[in-house]
Amino acid sequence: MNESALNELIALSKRNDDKAFRKIVEDYHAMVYSLAFRILCNEEDAKDLVQETFIKVWINLSGYQPDRKFSTWLYTIATNLCLDKLKSVEHRFQYNTQDETLKELVSSDNAEQTIINSELGEIIYALTNELTPKQKIVFTLRSLEELEIAEIVQITGLSPTKIKSNLFLARQAIRKKLEKY
């Protein structure tokens, strides 16, 4: 979506135009889901976080500054929610037993995608589960989402030095895990 069309949708959404906001959600849903899934490593948690993100966007849309890139603002909201989730006591990566997995697959509309997401989630989790929440966020934004350091600074509020340091430590920890195998 081009910048002017997005700005028009944002302006309409600020005036409580549900259809305009729905279009924004449709266009950015995949981006937010990808980020949430890569950080949380759980399909259901990622889906919940997408909903939370867009609810928060709707509530705070009047505070959006048009001089800031919308996707960066959206990443900021989603990242902060992911960070909160990672820090919460209730967040635990859950491995399903074989019976539970089979039950989910039988009832799933898209069994193949569920399996792929499950396997990808387990791999990401295995590589990043010992990282601190900040390291995991920085690693995901830079290495998986391929964002520039300047944009990560805007999203996280961390200095470029802190980002590079967290990224270095995260990569070092992941490299050590990979060397074991």
pLDDT in tens, 49-59: 999 999 999 99
Residue boundaries of the structural domains of the chain = 1-93
Q: What does pTM read for this prediction?
A: 0.78
Does residue 95 come out as left (phi exceeding 0), alpha (psi in the -120 to 50 range) or beta?
Answer: beta
Question: Exposure of 58 by Cβ count < 10 A (0-12 exposed, 13-18 middle, 19+ buried)?
Answer: middle
Query: Cβ distance 32 to 53 under 8 Å?
Result: yes
Q: 25-44: buried (b, 16+ CB within 10 Å) or exposed (e) per residue?
A: beebeeebbbbbbbbbbbbe
- The residue written with tokens 């590589």 in the block is 127
Between 96-100, 134-138, 157-161, the lowest mean confidence (pLDDT) is in 96-100
The CB density around residue 92, as the number of other CB atoms within 10 Å, is 8
pLDDT mean over 96-123: 55
Overall average pLDDT of the 39-62 stretch = 94
Q: Where are the alpha helices (DSSP H) in the chain?
A: 3-14, 18-40, 43-60, 70-87, 98-107, 111-128, 133-139, 149-156, 160-180
pLDDT tops 60 at residue 96: no
Task: Mention every residue, 6+ apart, whose C-beta is less than 8 A from residue 115.
Answer: 105
Reported CATH class of domain 1-93: mainly alpha
